[in-house]
Amino acid sequence: MGTLCNHSLDLTGPAGNLESPVHRLDPRAKIVGLLAVTLVAVTTPFEAWPVYLICALVLALVAALAGVGPREIWRRARFVLPLVLVVAVFVPLVREGGQAWELGPFTVHETGLQIFAAVAAKATIGTIAAVLLAATTSFPSVLRGLEAMHMPRLLILIAAFMYRYLFVIVEEAGRMRAALAARGFRPRTALQVGALGRVATAMFLRTYARGERVYQAMLARGYSGRMPQLTPLAFGRADLVFVAAVLVTLVPARVLA
Amino acid sequence: MSCAVHAKRLSYSYPNGQPALRDLELHIEHGERVAVLGPNGAGKTTFMLHLNGLVMGDGNLEVAGVDVGPKTLAELRRRVGLVFQDPDDQLFMPTAREDVAFGPLNMGLEGAEVERRVAEALRSVRMEPVADRAPYQLSMGERRRVAIATVLAMRPSLLVLDEPSANLDPRARRELIDILAQIERTMLLTTHDLPLAAELCERAVILAGGTIVADAPCHEILADATLLAAHDLELPGGFDLDLVVPRPRPGQPTTMSVPE
């Protein structure tokens, strides 16, 4: 039962060398460091290519230290990256300026092409930074880091429960889909998808009832509105060194650009 | 510390007005193991929720020396460990270890003491090897055992289990019975698994229509096929009640006699 649909969700877990220095960093250090890379890439002017290069090098170094290979990065990035790039791919066609080339029915402009390249670089750097955070830090640790950084506790709780029960709900949805298929449900026309609406309703009611039961189970073990932590986070020297190294490399490059 | 249950004229209706418990009368003494039997919809789960103050009806209810009421909830939940029917409802933390630590941390315990209790609870259900796994990575039998550990870590004096053998394969069920037999607690369990009740409990009650309709030594109740049939219960075909060897209590060589 537990293995029904878990392969795609397993992509959210850590990968690479789990004992690497990067994996062992405090989640706050990784959130700050990788967020800094993203922010620098996003705010850099279109033509400042050396900054993008430095960002890419920092990410490559982190990936190498963590033992997360290009294949693993691609396996995760492919879900996000194409969506971002599809939006940007029209820029060379509409943004005029510089040289122009005829490409069948379209005209490609030089300025547009430059902007596209820069947007693609920003998107790629941001995505890979997020992928590296997810590959070196478990989702619960990321949440604990965010909580320690004073994100609203309610949002953290919602994200934590969503992550925990996603697996349960995906299993339930899989079973209901199997039950529909077992009774010959193969929608051919739009009118037949009504059954899916009823499945969605049933899913909602089940999820709602489960929410009630989970809350009762929490109360039964003395829950009083505050999630207790087993081991407190510790921001040590290695974490400081990591954040400092990232900032010292990127901030001057960004300022000089 | 008392870990008895005294329910006097306990009544409860669901929010839609449908009665769930009617004048329920049940007295359980320290050290007893009692099986609560009954058909689906008889009010078993509702009664279990009462024992932890999660649902409060009318009438008198004293559990583990605590008068159940809004002011005594924290103390009540410390003394009564409730294991829910679906482990997925009970395991909500990222790893088994953190889930087992949830109760002790809520009790205000810290560091080394929490670690000690987590280790002890996981050991008693033989689940130390999976301490750092996420709930979805565990089998149903493992989830159930971790769910039991989550309440054992609070060292309750009364252990209440709702359908402990539901959805388990025969081997996981056998292991569960072995584990429960080792636990030294007053124990109350609801079940449709009558052979499990025969092995673990010396006393059984039948809950039907929201009230206790039979209360006797387990063997006596299970041997009364007419009584069972009247409440939609039956032993598995070919099952011989007389061949069941009741589990000895931990620290006791023979089965405890039923306290009168």
pLDDT, tens digit (0-9, with 9 covering 90-100), for A127-139: 999 999 999 998 8
Instruction: Give the residue on A whose Cα is nearest the Cα of B137.
Output: A2
A221 with B97: Cβ contact below 8 A: no
Question: Is the C-alpha dihedral spanning A86, A92, A93, A95 positive or negative?
Answer: positive
- Partner residue facing B150 (CB), from A213, A214, A221: A221
Q: Is the pLDDT of residue B63 over 90?
A: yes
* Average pLDDT value for residue range B57-79: 91
Q: Which residues of A touch B (CB under 8 A)?
A: 1-2, 6, 138-140, 160-161, 163-165, 167-168, 210, 213-214, 216-224, 228-230
A228 with B151: Cβ contact below 8 A: no
Cα gap B35→B44, rounded to integer Å: 11
Q: What is the pLDDT of residue B51?
A: 94
Q: What is the pLDDT of residue A10?
A: 60
Q: Show residues of chain A in contact with B74, CB under 8 Å.
A: 222, 224
Residue B31 Cα distances to B187, B222, B250, angstroms: 8, 21, 12
* Average pLDDT value for residue range B184-209: 94
B92 with A214: Cβ contact below 8 A: yes
- Asked if the C-beta of B82 comes within 8 angstroms of chain A's C-beta atoms, the answer is yes
Rounded to 5 degrees, what are φ and ψ at A107?
Answer: -115, 125
* Average pLDDT value for residue range B32-54: 92
- Partner residue facing A214 (CB), from B89, B106, B114: B89
CB A134 within 8 A of CB A12: yes
- Asked if the C-beta of B137 comes within 8 angstroms of chain A's C-beta atoms, the answer is yes
Q: Residue A224 — very low, low, confident or very high, per pLDDT cuts 50/70/90?
A: confident
* Average pLDDT value for residue range A14-33: 91
Q: Residue A8 — very low, low, confident or very high, per pLDDT cuts 50/70/90?
A: low
B105 with A218: Cβ contact below 8 A: no
Nearest chain A CA: its distance from B76 CA (Å): 9
Per-residue DSSP letter, A5: S
Rounded to 5 degrees, what are φ and ψ at A166?
Answer: -55, -45
Q: What is the pLDDT of residue B254?
A: 47
Q: Show residues of chain A in contact with B82, CB under 8 Å.
A: 217, 220
Q: Is the pLDDT of residue A3 over 60?
A: no
Strand-pair category, B58-63 with B66-67: antiparallel
Instruction: Give the residue on B whose Cα is nearest the Cα of A217.
Output: B90
A139 with B94: Cβ contact below 8 A: yes
pLDDT in tens, B9-37: 999 999 888 999 999 999 999 999 999 99
Cα gap A78→B218, rounded to integer Å: 61
- Partner residue facing A221 (CB), from B49, B140, B151: B151
B102 with A213: Cβ contact below 8 A: no
Instruction: Give the residue on B whose Cα is nearest the Cα of A209.
Output: B89
pLDDT in tens, B213-251: 999 999 999 999 999 999 999 999 888 888 888 888 886
**What's chain B's average pLDDT?**
90
- Kindly state the tokens that stand for A53: 């290069």
Map residue B211 onto helix, strand or coil.
strand
Rounded to 5 degrees, what are φ and ψ at A23?
Answer: -60, -35
A222 with B154: Cβ contact below 8 A: yes
Q: Is the pLDDT of residue A121 over 80?
A: yes
Quote ipTM for the complex. 0.84
**What's chain A's average pLDDT?**
86
Least confident of A92-106, A184-198, B3-17, B125-139: A184-198
Instruction: Give the residue on A whose Cα is nearest the Cα of B159.
Output: A220
* Average pLDDT value for residue range B191-210: 94
- Partner residue facing B88 (CB), from A168, A222, A224: A168
Q: Show residues of chain A in contact with B105, CB under 8 Å.
A: 228-230
Q: Residue B252 — very low, low, confident or very high, per pLDDT cuts 50/70/90?
A: low
- Partner residue facing B77 (CB), from A140, A168, A220: A220
Nearest chain A CA: its distance from B40 CA (Å): 18
Q: How many CB pairs under 8 A join A and B?
A: 78
Exposed/middle/buried for residue B71 (C-beta within 10 Å: 0-12, 13-18, 19+): exposed
* Average pLDDT value for residue range B25-52: 92
Least confident of A64-68, A224-228, A232-236: A224-228
B106 with A224: Cβ contact below 8 A: yes
Q: Show residues of chain B in contact with A140, CB under 8 Å.
A: 94-95
Q: What is the full DSSP assignment across B131-187?
A: TTS-GGGS-HHHHHHHHHHHHHTT--SEEEEESTTTT--HHHHHHHHHHHHH--SEE
- Partner residue facing B107 (CB), from A138, A165, A222: A222
- Asked if the C-beta of B90 comes within 8 angstroms of chain A's C-beta atoms, the answer is yes
